[in-house]
Amino acid sequence: MNILTLFVVIPVLTVAGILFTKDLKQSRMVSAIGMTVQLILSAILVYLYVTERQAGNMAPMLFTFDALWFPALNIHYAVGVDGISVAMIALTGVVVFAGIFASWRMEFLSREFFISLILLATGVFGFFISLDLFTMFLFYEIAVIPMYLLIGIWGSGPKEYSAMKLTLMLMGGSALLMVGILGIYFFSVPEGGQLTFNVLEIAKHQIPIEMQRFLFPFTFVGFGILGALFPFHTWSPDGHASAPTAVSMLHAGVLMKLGGYGAFRVAIYLMPEAAQEQAWIFIILTSISVVYGAFGAIFQKDLKYINAYSSVSHCGLVLFAVLMMNQTAFTGAVIQMISHGLMTALFFALIGMIYGRTHTRMINEMGGLMKVIPFLGVVYVIAGLASLGLPGFSGFVAEMTIFFGAYEHVDLFHRVATIVAVSSIVITAVYILRVVGTLLMGPITDKHFLHLEDANWYERLSTITLVIGITFIGVAPLWLSDMINFSLAPLIEKLATVQLPGM
Amino acid sequence: MTLNDIMFYLFAGSILTFSVLTVTSRRILRSAVYLLFVLVSTAGIYFMLNYNFLAAVQLTVYAGGIIVLIIFSILLTSHVSEKAVVAPVRQQIFSALATAAGAALTILTFLQYAFTPSASPAVEANVHNVGLALVSYGRDGFALPFEVISILLLAAMVGAIVLAKKEKHLATAGNQPKINPDNSSKS
Amino acid sequence: MIDNIPLNSFLVISTLMFFIGIYGFLTRRNLITMLMSIELILNSVNINFVVFNKFLYPNLLHGHFFSLIVIAVAASEAAVAIAIIINIYRNFKSIDVENLDQMKL
Amino acid sequence: MNSYAYTLLIPLIPFFVFLFVGMAEDKLKGKLGGLIGTVGLGIATFLSYYTAFKYFITDHVHGTAYTSVKAFEITWLHLTEKLTINLGILIDPISVMMLIVVSTVSFMVHIYSLGYMEGERGFARFYSFLSLFSFSMLGLVLATNLFQMYIFWELVGVSSFLLIGYYYEKPSAFSAAKKAFIVTRFADLGFLIGILILSFTTGTFDFQTLVDPNGPAISSAGGAAFMGLSLLTWALILIFVGGAGKSAMFPLHIWLPDAMEGPTPVSALIHAATMVVAGVYLVARLFPVYALGGPVALEVVAWVGAFTSLFAAVIALTQTDIKRVLAFSTMSQIGYMMLSLGVSGYGGEEGLGFMASNFHLFTHAMFKALLFLGAGAVIHAVHSNDMSEMGGLRKYLPITHMTFLIACLTIAGIPPFSGFFSKDEILVAAFHSNKILFGIEYLVAGLTAFYMFRLYYSIFWGHDRHYHHTPHEAPLVMTIPLMILAFGSIFSGLLPFHHLVTSDGLGFDSHIDWMIAAPSILIGVVGIAVATLMYKTENSRPAAVAKTFSHLYRWSYRKFYIDEVYLFVTKKIIFNYISRPVAWFDRHIVDGTMNGIANLVVFCSFNIKGLQSGRVQQYGFVFVSGVVALVLIFVYLL
């Protein structure tokens, strides 16, 4: 069997396995085994990919596999990966693994919970391996739908409202996306040719510029909603705040990346001309996202809201970089996706663990936790420092790559936008330190906190996995950036051929 | 004007009169009786058309069975003297308008259409022919519908009994704790 | 026997009966009278079947049998409907159709 | 080149110590963590001295210029086609000089802390942070390129943050740490944008290429680009903003006094001797670019330096917290160094200011670390920071007293102590460049002497206060570093800096210009004399003076209300007028729009729902009328 298909098959098998379990213990064990296998598989994939490239395989996509499954519309199950997808798959593997351990104590309807969670993961893995737009869209929907159940059933606070809001907004995004995808499908191939959904095939043709102008906004906004593009980001704070820990982790860590990845793989790759023409609108929006999310985070009191707004800011940076459309910025965007995925998953895991102990998420009700739960405190500080872009952690690498990529443009507009985006690093520092200060430092504010227990083994496993990911990329980013860089070559070539009057 | 014509208009007049009375009478029991008259008149029309078996069935099943059933249920659910609640006048007017328009439209439509009566020899609808047709299965045989309708009647009988039967746990709900709260809440 | 009575006369009667039935269905609040209105409708349809059979296809008996079957269906329908009405009466202490909008929510 | 490959160990040893001690914190009982850290840093210090010896003496051919050597370099990340971030080690005169400064002071602080921090909770944590700081600082000074410097610049910032916030349960400590981090972060924003501009203008990060007088950086100075200054000048000014943030130049100085909330050894190491001079080091590192590519930027450096030195000196006159007096004195002295860089030219005698600045950096590190460690010993003895709770301590703390006096004389510029030599060079450089700047520095020299001796007399003279227990001299482990640093303070002035650390690598001859030195000694003595008069014995004169200049006194005491201005800007303006409206806007406008759409749909569906009333007769009516209407339309109307 093709190694990529395994990425879909193993979660499905795991789900099937969970169906036969009886209680929390068994179902979490099955999930943990399944996702561990998945994590190992991701590592193997990275290894295979790197060796294959070193062996001189220059094909744009590796490990491809193609099977026709709906002949009438020429829909294929076409899979294949390049460096970017490999990186995203590795990220997903890590985050899902950590997510399973973060929900080790999901007492309520545990079987159903793990099934939904892994179903979501299936969708995400499928999305990253797909080369066929329709299959990609299908997996996208598979990833979004369980979200509704996961938030609506296992959430907290106004969970029904949040679940509904999140699902509806994402569905709205899908609707736009569907228009975009169908438009691409019908207009990509010149008159008389066989219509196709295959990304690589479509990329060989040129979509007429008039159609691109029309389709690009649909596709980009469709993915942008998932990537929390201002002003379509409001599902993110509510959704994240209501979601259970593992779901926030997966959602912010991985699902939001589908937006960035899709914007990049579909919108920009297939419609470069329109992208260059219309980029300025979205650059303005994403610059606003970046600064606005950061300012929004300063004022929040709920830990999850803070983190959700910080996600808006960081994911805004991803889209910002994608729109800059040069090699460096693209590399930065991908690294930022991975980095933010790991960081924010770590944050949400920690918030869940802290909430599980203090039963509040309001920072002004907490204080001095460093003394009682030093492990979680230290990891929180690490996550915070990573988030504000400290060297040695992945965030720094990503941000710097993005800034340098963005600054490569010589015109004033791009440079001003870059400087606006750069200024977010200060604001980030402000809100991160504010949280760290109120939450962890200072005297203990509540005597109930004196008896809190520090992290368990599974909590340690979950957080340490993520911390290792963050620092590994932060300390040795070269392999990753080279892997991404190489895969960007076809896109850069395509962009280089684009000549537009007046740009 | 022959006797036939007189008979026909008599039946037609009684059908229309009693139909209107059926749907307008304030007393339900009277409605039922008016309906009976309508059905009997219909049977008369069947007789006129020389479909004696059908007329007999109409009389026994409709006039005999269904009307009795209806009268029983009226007696079960309301007092004999009780007057029916009438719908608001607005509803009556609008319904009347709609139905009148519908009737006018329909009549207008088929009056424009010239039906050409067939001259082919008629088949006698006597009990012999009817009985043969009911159990034969070739062309012009109705064995399958006959069987199907018998199954339907059986099913309706079983269903009616099950529906109308008093549910056990309702009767004993007072002194027994409910075991499965999910399934019992519907009744 | 019926030669001098035109087909259209029968049709007019059945049509009027049909719409009277519908009027009854739309205006009567009592479930049982609504049921009776339905019987009217069915009856009018029966007349049509029979009349068409007699005038247009006298060599066949299809309309006749159709009426027969409709009568059987009407009988079973009446039985089930009355069972339901009795059940409703038992639960709601009323058979007024206005009160029966529980399914909406 | 490879003969210096071992220098890789100098930053790496502290790094591994940090990892080991940091992870095994709970397991390390007693002073074990501290001992590991100290030994590790001792090795690094030894290697640093060996490197200095090798670079300046054994490997140097007399009469030739000192060359810069890349001891080691790896590629860390490819940014663009041209720009690549490397990590490596660059050996040249100033980096070796800084190596000595950092490792010496850090080593002294490590030893000193064994006594000072004894029994503190988190002793091992303290040492792991110290090691992290040492690693970052060493990485910073050895950086081969601007971006590596930025990386370590940030790491230095965070280790400073961690160390200031060491007593994290004290809210004031944490808020000081936060303030330090955010203010320097804000400055780093300037630095980063500066790097962006500089690297895209010149196409390189590498110092060796950047500072090459004939290289692309300097030749790209170009014409005016923005507001009358060239892009390169703007880049240099922005980079200087970064340096000013770290070096607590006005107006980004507000974090430094608060940073004194950290443990005193930390103040000595980070906020006196090493990290705060990183800004000076940064400008010195890029000095040829400044001098040849952006003279306007250099002028900015000079004026900011001069103003800060005066400003801080005036504030230092009235402060009562001994650590804060020292903090302002640090700012003032760094102002000196900046000024000196600012007035310097490039090459030969012209580069006197450059040399003087580095010279002063070196001597200042010795005597300021000494002052802080001495202050630490005093605080250790009386458990207070406040001058008014001290007095007459010379009897109890003889060693501290002697070393403190030496340090005070050094900073006051009294020969033959080292401060005299370095300060004299700065004054000479200023004199030849700009008379106004020279005048300011002259005044500051007097003020410095005055406030240092005010401090000295208030602590060690006067009569005894009511101490909780009799103050006693610090243990040997604390006094030995004091003595070593005192030794350094006295004799480091004799080092031939003008042969070793110069702007172009070539040595030149320098001699003391008595026409300038004599008045400077004189003003120092006057300052000391006035202080003696006012503070040696307790009398009413200080109060009388304060009353005479009451406004000035109050402004100085309140640090010219700069903190309040910042507080106003951040709390009132940013928090209330930006962040709050953004949050409101998000909740009500953006989210309101989304909810509004949802509500509209709900409203419509609610109304449509009315049609689905559940009333059979209504359905029937609609059905019938519908059928009638359809028949009418399709049969008759169409």
In a domain, B54, yes or no: yes
Residues of the domain holding B165: 124-173
> Given 3-state DSSP classes, what are the helix, strand and coil percentages for chain A, each rounded to the nearest 5?
80, 5, 20
In a domain, C94, yes or no: yes
Q: For residue A454, which phi and psi values (nearest 5 degrees)?
A: -75, 180
State residue D438's pLDDT score. Answer: 84
Residues of the domain holding A147: 3-493
pLDDT per residue as tens digits for the range C8-38: 889 999 999 999 999 999 888 888 888 999 9
Query: Which one of A86-90, A443-447, D414-418, D476-480 scores highest in mean pLDDT?
Result: A86-90
Q: Which chain D residue has the Cα nearest residue B97? A: D625
Q: A152, A406, A412: which is closest to A286 by C-alpha?
A: A406
- Ranges A302-316, A480-494, D203-217, D294-308: which has the least confidence: D203-217
State residue B177's pLDDT score. Answer: 44
DSSP-derived letter for residue A27 is H
* Longest distance between any two alpha carbons in chain A, whole Å: 76
- Ranges A69-78, B62-71, D508-517: which has the least confidence: D508-517
Domain count, chain B: 2
State residue D220's pLDDT score. Answer: 66
Percent of chain D with pLDDT over 70: 97
Interface of A with D in 396-435 (CB under 8 A): 396-397, 400-401, 403-405, 407-408, 418-419, 422-423, 425-426, 429-430, 433-434
Interchain CB distance below 8 Å, D631 and B105 = yes
Q: Is the pLDDT reported for residue A254 higher than 80?
A: yes
> Measured between CB atoms, does D515 come within 8 Å of chain B?
no
What does the pLDDT average to over D60-89? 80
Interchain CB distance below 8 Å, C4 and B4 = yes
Please tell me the distance from the alpha carbon of residue A480 to that of residue A498, in angstroms, as a whole number.
28
A454 CB contacts (<8 Å, ≥6 apart)?
A372, A373, A374, A375, A376
Mean of per-residue pLDDT scores for chain A: 85
In a domain, B61, yes or no: yes
Label residue A305 by pLDDT band (50, 70, 90).
Answer: confident
State residue C38's pLDDT score. Answer: 92
Q: Is the pLDDT reported for residue B183 higher than 70?
A: no
Residues of the domain holding C91: 7-99
- Ranges A343-357, B80-94, C33-47, D480-494: which has the least confidence: B80-94
Q: Which chain D residue has the Cα nearest residue C23? A: D621
Q: Is the pLDDT reported for residue D416 higher than 60?
A: yes
Interchain CB distance below 8 Å, B87 and D617 = yes
Which chains would you list as touching B if contact means 3+ CB atom pairs under 8 Å?
C, D
State residue A437's pLDDT score. Answer: 83
Interchain CB distance below 8 Å, B54 and C67 = yes
The yes/no answer to whether this complex scores an ipTM above 0.95 is no
State residue D223's pLDDT score. Answer: 56
Label residue B174 by pLDDT band (50, 70, 90).
Answer: very low
Q: Chain D interface, mutation test: which of C15, C26, C37, C92, most D Cβ atoms within 10 Å? A: C26
How many Å separate Cα A261 from the centre of its chain?
8
Tell me: do B6 and B64 sit in the same domain: yes
Mean of per-residue pLDDT scores for chain D: 82
pLDDT per residue as tens digits for the range D553-570: 777 777 777 777 777 777
State residue B178's pLDDT score. Answer: 43
State residue B170's pLDDT score. Answer: 53
State residue D2's pLDDT score. Answer: 65
State residue B1's pLDDT score. Answer: 66
Residue predicted with more confidence, A307 or B82: A307
Interchain CB distance below 8 Å, D624 and B99 = yes
In chain D, which residues have their Cβ closer than 8 Å to the Cβ of A292?
Answer: 582, 586
Does an interface of 3+ CB pairs under 8 Å exist between A and D?
yes
Predicted TM-score (pTM) above 0.90: no
Q: For residue A76, which phi and psi values (nearest 5 degrees)?
A: -115, 155
Interchain CB distance below 8 Å, B94 and D627 = no
In a domain, A386, yes or no: yes
What does the pLDDT average to over B14-18? 93
Instruction: Measure CB to CB from residue B163 to each of C7, C57, C84 and give the nearest one.
Output: C84
What does the pLDDT average to over A337-344? 90
Q: Which chain A residue has the Cα nearest residue D225? A: A412
C7 CB contacts (<8 Å, ≥6 apart)?
B115, B117, C51, C55, C56
In a domain, B107, yes or no: no
- CATH number of the domain where residue B14 is located: 1.20.120.1200
pLDDT per residue as tens digits for the range A167-193: 888 888 888 988 888 888 888 877 777
Q: Where are the beta strands (DSSP E) in A257-360?
A: none
Instruction: Measure CB to CB from residue B160 to each of C13, C72, C79 and give the nearest one.
Output: C79
Evaluate the CA torsion angle D477, D481, D484, D490 in order and state its sign. Answer: negative
Q: How many CB atoms lie within 10 A of CB A278?
A: 18
pLDDT per residue as tens digits for the range C88-101: 888 877 777 777 76
Q: Which chain A residue has the Cα nearest residue D570? A: A430
Three-state SS for A68? strand
Please tell me the distance from the alpha carbon of residue D249 to that of residue D301, in angstroms, as a whole number.
10
State residue B185's pLDDT score. Answer: 40
> Measured between CB atoms, does D623 come within 8 Å of chain B?
no
How many Å separate Cα B154 from the centre of its chain?
18
Domain count, chain C: 1
Domain count, chain A: 1
In a domain, B28, yes or no: yes
In chain A, which residues have their Cβ closer than 8 Å to the Cβ of D186?
Answer: 426
Label residue D224 by pLDDT band (50, 70, 90).
Answer: low
What does the pLDDT average to over A369-390? 86
Interchain CB distance below 8 Å, C33 and B42 = no
State residue C40's pLDDT score. Answer: 92
State residue C2's pLDDT score. Answer: 60
Q: Is the pLDDT reported for residue C42 higher than 90?
A: yes
State residue C44's pLDDT score. Answer: 93
Q: Which chain A residue has the Cα nearest residue D578? A: A295
Range list of H helices, D203-294 = 207-210, 216-219, 231-246, 255-258, 264-268, 278-285, 287-288
- CATH number of the domain where residue C56 is located: 1.10.287.3510
Label residue B16 by pLDDT band (50, 70, 90).
Answer: very high
Q: Is the pLDDT reported for residue B186 higher than 50?
A: no
In a domain, B101, yes or no: no
Percent of chain D with pLDDT over 90: 1
State residue D226's pLDDT score. Answer: 64
Tell me: do B66 and B132 sit in the same domain: no
Q: Is the pLDDT reported for residue D241 higher than 80?
A: yes
pLDDT per residue as tens digits for the range B109-125: 888 888 888 878 888 88
> Measured between CB atoms, does B109 come within 8 Å of chain D?
yes
DSSP-derived letter for residue C96 is B
What does the pLDDT average to over A78-92? 88
